[in-house]
Chain A
Amino acid sequence: MSEKTIECDLLIIGAGMSGIAASFFASNRGISTVQVGMSTSLSFSSGLLDLMAVHPIETINIWDDPWTGIDALNNDIPNHPYSKIKKEKIKEAFNEIVSFLKQTGINYVSEDDKNTQIITSAGTIKHTYLVPESMWNGAVAYAKKAPCLFIDFHGLKGFSSRQITESLSDNWPNLRSAQIYFPDSFGENFCEHIARSLEKPEMRTKLVESIKPYLHDSKYIAFPAVMGMYSVKEIMSDIEQKIGLPIFEIPTMPPSVPGIRLKNAFEKRIVEKGVKVFFKHKIIRVNQDSSGEFISLLGDGSDITIVSKALILASGRFLGKGLHAERKEIKETIFGLPVYQPESRTLWHENDFFDPKGHAINQSGIETDELLRPINSNKKPFFDNLFAIGTILAHQDWTRMKCGSGLSIATAYAAVNNLKL
């Protein structure tokens, strides 16, 4: 073997939520793993971990208890990816992730294992499963309709505290909003910059001073999600102590600070655990040799070949480039696997972007057997040790069902446990 060949048990293609979760689970189990993928999509995550909130989507039926929601879903849509995983296994998967994140200082919270209502930057309410502790007070304040002050910053685009208070005002009195200058800044501001500068204690002192005139009778203070990149807990309790009131973060549009926090925590962990990562790279070709091993060629001029016993395809949908839409057909980009899809492009999308029943194309993707292995037209797996996980899977509409993170984490967990090494 040449120097440019890497041997491993498992190759994971994709570095979004599902790929990174699979890498995490595999590294926890001591499986020698290589991960390849563009490492951007996790920073697009809001930081909220959805499990299951809406089904049937066309009637916008919201489940307080995601677990009974999953039962109903599996009953009505028997080929939804959740139906291939026992609920206990989904719970185990979340527990393993949550306890790891806790060690890194990112705490996740739910109340009685139920869905929680979270305020978004658009002034809407999102139903989600696990909430970063930094956002939790928002759920409490919303539930109690407590007097609340919403803060935003001059020069921070796409976040208006006035928008949030106006949108929520019909059933939540006593809301205030204030736009302030972030200390020492003028002109354009970005969440990530603000989060990094709040790591410095003197910035927090200045920030609190500029907020004090707006407090009045508020019982909670809300901010866009900018409360630090690493020391979120310390920063928030420092500010709470200085103001004397509980505070919380509101999820923002991407790229989002809570998403970047997740990405940093996971990436650090998997590297520490010995996973070889090739981020900002892609696999351009995969063959299988006679012994059943996968020979994958890394692109971008590196000429590195990765030989693996098993392969997990976590390449995402169109945004992740796992699927590619041509004018007449949707294709899977790495293996050319068959893609479940509507018959023609005229059927891909509804005329109303916000049609609650969703677009038919959202259900398209890779079909698998019970072990999450892609199947051919005879319902047989192509390879014993090729698995597909996350949003590339068919028969789910994660944006409308609000099941994106759950789908990624649960299928990653199941696939890693189904490996035959």
Chain B
Amino acid sequence: MKAQVLIIGGGATGTGISRDLALRGINCILVEKKDINAGASGGNHGLLHSGARYVGADPEAAEECKHEGDIIKKVAPHCIENTGGLFVAVAGDDEKYIADFPQNCSKCGVPAKYVDLKDAFELEPELAKNTIAVYMVEDASVDPFKLSLENLSHAHSNGTIYLPYTKAEGFNIENGRIKSVVVQNMITGEQKKIEADYVVNAAGVWAGELAKLAGMKINMIYSKGSLLVTQRRITKRVINRLRRASDADILVPGGTVSIIGTTSIRTESLESIYPTVEEVDFIISEGAQMLPLLDKIRYIRAYSGVRPLVSLHDSADDRGVTRGFALIDHEKEGIKNFTTITGGKLTTFRLMAEKTSDHVCEKLGISKPCMTKTVPMPNTSSGRWTEPGLAPKTWVRDSSKADILLCECEMIPKSAIDSIISSIIGQSGDLSLNSIGVRSRVGKGPCQGTFCSARIVSYMYDKGNLIDKQGILELQKFINERWKGQRPLLWDIPMVQSELQEAIHCGLFGLEMEQNK
């Protein structure tokens, strides 16, 4: 295969670059070793930062966030819920930080409006009684899956080829240039070569490992963050703790739920990342200082992501490491057509894509301007089913008697599954229960996949999408993927549900006895 540019990594940045280059008429291939947003882009808060979080320690990041947030709200409003946000301090919080906050915001051009406490409790009744200061900011909630799926979809319709489950295994380097990249299909094991004029490493947290394949060295720091999803939405707005950035100090609404996090723990390994019981208990006790309800409410899921941080100097605290991005041209180290883009934040993904694409164009001698600042991102069907509440609305409106619900918790009918399956096949993706899960609310309701997993597998056999014993493996993989996020939250009702899940999938089906994993 050949392309002008090969992009490695299908997160927000990689899909953003593919859209940016595609809109400049450049022919690209995007390879991803798993599926969309498998790394940090899929494991974050879903917060479009107003910038206010960074005004104290990282003014440059604050300004960037403000600027980029405005652009994304304008060009991709369908990926955003423009909730607004509050910064709240409770008794005992650092009074100097609170006092400096408004001035720090205005220095960075980040709007922050003082809110009278009485008004604050009216806006958000769940705030702690001992709240002492509140400011209103322009935070918003973003659906990171929809964002990447829409980026990809727009790139795809402009000629980009997307190859999921395709891992870069090695570089053929001749005379200081990458001549081709050897990639392996992670499902079939088949290897092939992709030739490209330019190669972009957008592998996020894996950027260091990928660069190493080409003999390049990047000092990466891996910072694991865990988050909890509440069963129902607690606040209308994003709620930030008004203090120096720390653990469990942001609550982000996302449709019908709220997400509280995160932690920040150095990790060496990038595999087997999962939230632990200790992190969960810590997040709850910290978060409850701001919103006491968090101590009592039911949680439906925990998840973890790893932040790719680039180390420029040694720092004991990963929160102190810049959240700015690193664009590294590897020409100095001896490879002329290879660039790494990593670090950064979800909020600045478009800017990262723009800067990378500008750089690539310059190297290729192409002079086409960036379009992503102004061209609206089309609202397509490929990302639509990630929206909480959309499937039930559509089903209630259009339901025919034959369009039965395969997932009752999230009200997802057969027709939605059909549309997801054909969009995966259309993008020549790997069709699996997990890939359907990434693109929809399947498995995300209170039963956490107990019933819908088995029903969708049966339906996939009926459609001819599964053969042989694939269904057993699909159930094992899907339930285990959900399990990572259930395991640390199993008390009260979730424990009851997990017992039912075990009774069905182990007691009756005996899936734990199937050793073909």
Q: A166 contacts B461, CB within 8 Å?
A: yes
Residues from chain A with a CB closer than 8 A to the CB of B499 are 317-319
Question: Does residue A277 face the partner (Cβ distance < 8 Å to B)?
Answer: no
A390 CB to closest chain B CB (Å) equals 13
5 closest Cβ pairs, A-B complex: A187-B401, A160-B458, A399-B507, A163-B461, A353-B483
Interface of A is mostly: loop
Chain A contacts with B in 383-421, Cβ cutoff 8 A: 398-400, 402, 404
Contact of B503 (CB < 8 Å), options: A122, A188, A351, A399: A399
Question: Does residue B512 face the partner (Cβ distance < 8 Å to A)?
Answer: yes
Q: A345 contacts B462, CB within 8 Å?
A: no
Residues from chain A with a CB closer than 8 A to the CB of B451 are 158, 253
Q: B491 contacts A326, CB within 8 Å?
A: yes
Residues from chain B with a CB closer than 8 A to the CB of A400 are 506, 512
Chain A contacts with B in 107-157, Cβ cutoff 8 A: 120-127, 154-155, 157
- What's the Cα separation between A170 and B495 when bound, in Å? 37
- Output the residue of B276, B458, B467, B492 with the most chain A CB within 10 A: B458
Q: B466 contacts A404, CB within 8 Å?
A: no
Question: Does residue B165 face the partner (Cβ distance < 8 Å to A)?
Answer: no
Q: B457 contacts A163, CB within 8 Å?
A: yes
- Output the residue of B459, B496, B513 with the most chain A CB within 10 A: B513
Q: A122 contacts B479, CB within 8 Å?
A: no
Question: Does residue B509 face the partner (Cβ distance < 8 Å to A)?
Answer: yes
Q: A163 contacts B458, CB within 8 Å?
A: yes
Known: A325-B495, A327-B281, A353-B483. 13 other contacts (CB 8 A): A60-B513, A121-B454, A159-B458, A163-B466, A166-B461, A253-B504, A326-B492, A353-B501, A354-B476, A354-B505, A354-B506, A356-B513, A399-B507
Q: A167 contacts B472, CB within 8 Å?
A: yes
Chain B contacts with A in 449-466, Cβ cutoff 8 A: 451, 454-455, 457-459, 461-462, 466
Q: B468 contacts A166, CB within 8 Å?
A: yes
What are 8 A-to-B residue pairs whose CB atoms are below 8 Å?
Answer: A121-B509, A123-B469, A124-B511, A158-B454, A160-B462, A163-B461, A166-B468, A345-B281
Contact of B510 (CB < 8 Å), options: A125, A169, A362, A404: A125
Question: Does residue A33 face the partner (Cβ distance < 8 Å to B)?
Answer: no
Contact A186 to B472, CB < 8 A, known contacts A166-B466, A326-B491, A351-B487: no
Chain A interfacial positions (CB closer than 8 Å to B): 44, 46, 54, 60, 62, 120-127, 154-155, 157-160, 162-163, 166-167, 169-170, 179, 186-188, 251, 253-254, 317-319, 321, 324-327, 344-346, 348-349, 351-356, 362, 398-400, 402, 404
Residues from chain A with a CB closer than 8 A to the CB of B467 are 166
* Closest chain B residue, CB of each to CB of A344: B277
Contact A251 to B508, CB < 8 A, known contacts A122-B472, A169-B468: yes
Q: A188 contacts B404, CB within 8 Å?
A: yes
Q: A124 contacts B510, CB within 8 Å?
A: yes
Q: A188 contacts B277, CB within 8 Å?
A: no
Interface residues on B, range: 35 or more
Q: A188 contacts B274, CB within 8 Å?
A: no
Contact of B458 (CB < 8 Å), options: A46, A158, A402: A158
Residues from chain B with a CB closer than 8 A to the CB of A127 are 510
- What's the Cα separation between A122 and B514 when bound, in Å? 12
* Closest chain A residue, CB of each to CB of B459: A160
Residues from chain A with a CB closer than 8 A to the CB of B402 are 154-155, 186-187
Question: Does residue B278 face the partner (Cβ distance < 8 Å to A)?
Answer: yes
Contact of B509 (CB < 8 Å), options: A124, A157, A317: A124
Question: Does residue B123 face the partner (Cβ distance < 8 Å to A)?
Answer: no
B422 CB to closest chain A CB (Å) equals 19
- Output the residue of A159, A179, A318, A324 with the most chain B CB within 10 A: A318
Q: B471 contacts A123, CB within 8 Å?
A: yes
Chain B contacts with A in 89-105, Cβ cutoff 8 A: none
